[in-house]
Amino acid sequence: MTDSITTTEPAGKRARNGSIILTDRVCEKRVARRVKFYDRKCPGLYVSIIPAGVATFCFKFTDRSTGKQRSTSLGVYNRETFTVEQARTAVYALKTRMGNGENVAESLRQRKAQTAKRGKTVDEIIEERIEWMKTPVRKPDGEMRPRIETWSNVASHLRRFVSPRLGKKLAAEVTKHDIAELSNDIVAGRHGGKPSVSNARHMRRAASGLFNWAAEAGRDYVAASPCVNLPKLDNEHPRTRVLSEDEIRIFWHGLGRDDLPWDRRTRLALKFELVTMLRSGELLGARRDELFDLDGEHPRFDVPLKRVKKRRVIQQPLSGLAVEIIREALTGDKQEYVFASPLGDQPMNRKVMATALRGTKVKGKVKTPGICALLGLKPFTPHDLRRTAATLAGDLGFDDAWIAKCLDHAASKKSEQIVPTVTGKVYNHSKRMKEKRAVLDGVAAELRRIIGEPAKQVRAGLLLAA
């Protein structure tokens, strides 16, 4: 290159800094060591050139707030996009701002901090978000629990779906198109496993929470969330699996077989879900001190709000059949958890019931057959047992609103309040409890008819649960 020159320096010595009138030709020098050239024409402007041939323009000035000198980078020299004259113009602009009283040093510090934030990758903000979600905070009931109690599910969706595709990308560079494309690939089965609208919906919800959080004041990792105005997903088809009377009979009696490979209390928990309409997570952690009046006329089970989906206390009436299941599950006076794990007096894993019904596989081969397969039943889930019980109640003529209360689908401002245990006796006799008890007693009577047990034996004290 004819207009380039090479600066040669003795080996082991650093190139000397000089004060010259900067030109584009100087910026294209070839040097053996890093060297700086200060511009006589524009005091404070200098160029730093390294052996790799990169010339960076910088501005040296005095920070008025500290009295110290500092430098800030203006940009890399480029004959087409950023020349010496453009660098001088940038310095003149900064000097003008300083002359108008602006604290340029502080402005530059803020810009640098903002740039650092905007430089975070999606993976980095995912892990920071997860730490934020799992941080214990004091909840309305006074207990310290994770800020977002379902954080593990959200973390799974972020790590399974978002991270593999967008993790290495700068968070500030993620666009609405990126999220839409990822969503479409999940629906089509090109990302994350088999085709699933549900997984795409989970991904969108998790990503939206992530980017809204990242855009909040104080973080400002992104200017705005890219998860807006996305194309609507197709409607998911709700599950409609309901066990027939024959299936209920086979299932109920089959759970009493001694040759099943699944723990006895797991099988009792499955019966308990069918009888009470409670969710798996609500009943599996049942403790002895959450049961009331088992020997009286108004037995009930109080589920604390930390185990309830809507984070409100559930007071669920217990039918005679439900009480029998509890008594069979409680094998010792010192047993704290009703459906204790085989590993000790502790709650079973929340997925144990679904696993028992489905069975387990290793490398595609069945390791332990599921209860459905062993009993010759079409596959179903624990949630289908709730639906089956609700359907039985509907067939018996109970009002939908009463059934909804048993399912904990009915919510009001009053019912969402924390109900202290001391109010249990009053609350137990409310209209809401009477309606729920009528439905659950009706379902229990219908189940007894289906499985062939006469209703007159309800109070006979016989072991009818298994």
Domains of the chain: 6-106 (3.30.160.390), 122-214 (no CATH), 245-457 (1.10.443.10)
Token code pair at residue 292: 């009331």
406/436 Cα distance (integer angstroms): 6
Token code pair at residue 101: 């009283």
The Cβ-side half-sphere exposure at 139, using a 13 Å CA radius, reads 17
Please say whether the dihedral angle defined by the alpha carbons of residues 85, 90, 92 and 93, taken in this order, is positive or negative. positive
Q: How far is CA 211 from the centre of its chain?
A: 13
pTM above 0.85?
no
- What confidence score (pLDDT) does residue 115 get? 61
Helices (H) and strands (E) in the chain, counts: 18, 16
- At 83, the amino acid letter reads T
- At 304, the amino acid letter reads P
- What confidence score (pLDDT) does residue 42 get? 93
Q: Residue 62's CB: how many other CB atoms inside 10 A?
A: 13
Tell me the H-state helices in 302-379.
320-329, 352-358, 371-375
Residues of the chain with pLDDT under 70: 1-18, 111-118, 410-431, 453-466
Q: For tokens 């009463």, what's the residue?
A: 402
